[in-house]
Amino acid sequence: MEHHVSFLFHPVNSLISMLFGAPPQWWQEAMGVAGEDGVWLPDHVVMTLLVVATIAVLLSVVRRRLSLERPSTLQQVMEVLVSSLRNMCNDVIGHHAGARFVPFIAALTFFIFISNFFGLIFFLQPPTANTSTTFALSITAFLFYNIVAFGHHGVLGWLKHFAGPVWWLAPLMFPVEVISHLARMLSLALRLFGNIFGEHTASGIFFAMVPFVIPWAMMGLGVVGTTIQTFIFIMLTSVYISEAVAQEH
d(CA 200, CA 129): 8
Express each pLDDT in 158-171 by its tens digit. Answer: 988 888 777 778 88
What pLDDT does residue 249 have?
43
Whether 12 shows a pLDDT value over 50: the answer reads yes
Residues 86 and 192 in one domain: yes
Residues 238 and 165 in one domain: yes
Residues 68 and 10 in one domain: no
Q: Which residue has the higher pLDDT, 154 or 211?
A: 154
**Type of residue at 215:** P
Q: pLDDT band for 213, please (50, 70, 90 cuts).
A: low
Q: What is the mean pLDDT of residues 145-151?
A: 96
Q: pLDDT band for 1, please (50, 70, 90 cuts).
A: very low
Q: Mapping DSSP to helix (H, G, I), strand (E, B) and coil, where does residue 70 land?
A: coil
Residues 131 and 25 in one domain: no
What pLDDT does residue 210 have?
66
Does residue 229 contact residue 78 with C-beta atoms inside 8 Å? no
**Type of residue at 37:** D
What region does 213 belong to: left with phi over 0, alpha with psi -120 to 50, or beta?
A: left
What pLDDT does residue 2 have?
42
Residues 30 and 95 in one domain: no
Other residues' Cβ atoms within 10 Å of the Cβ of residue 103: 11
d(CA 176, CA 162): 8
Return contacts of 89-95, CB within 8 angstroms, 24+ apart: 89/238, 92/235, 92/238, 92/239, 92/241, 92/242, 93/238, 93/241, 93/242, 93/245, 94/242, 94/245
Residues 63 and 30 in one domain: no
Q: Is residue 198 part of a domain?
A: yes
Residues 158 and 202 in one domain: yes
Residues 65 and 117 in one domain: yes
Q: How far separated are the first and last CA of the chain, in Å rounded?
A: 51
Q: Is residue 51 part of a domain?
A: no
Q: DSSP assignment of 214-227, as one string? A: HHHHHHHHHHHHHH
Sign, CA dihedral 82-88-91-95, equals: negative
Question: Count of domains in the chain?
Answer: 2
Give the range of the structural domain holding residue 210, as residue numbers without chain letter.
57-245
Residues 231 and 195 in one domain: yes
Residues 35 and 132 in one domain: no
What pLDDT does residue 218 have?
67
Residues 115 and 187 in one domain: yes
Q: pLDDT band for 248, please (50, 70, 90 cuts).
A: low
Does residue 86 contact residue 166 with C-beta atoms inside 8 Å? no
d(CA 119, CA 204): 10
Q: pLDDT band for 216, please (50, 70, 90 cuts).
A: low
**What pTM value is reported for the model?**
0.92
Q: Is residue 179 part of a domain?
A: yes
Residues 62 and 126 in one domain: yes
d(CA 186, CA 29): 24
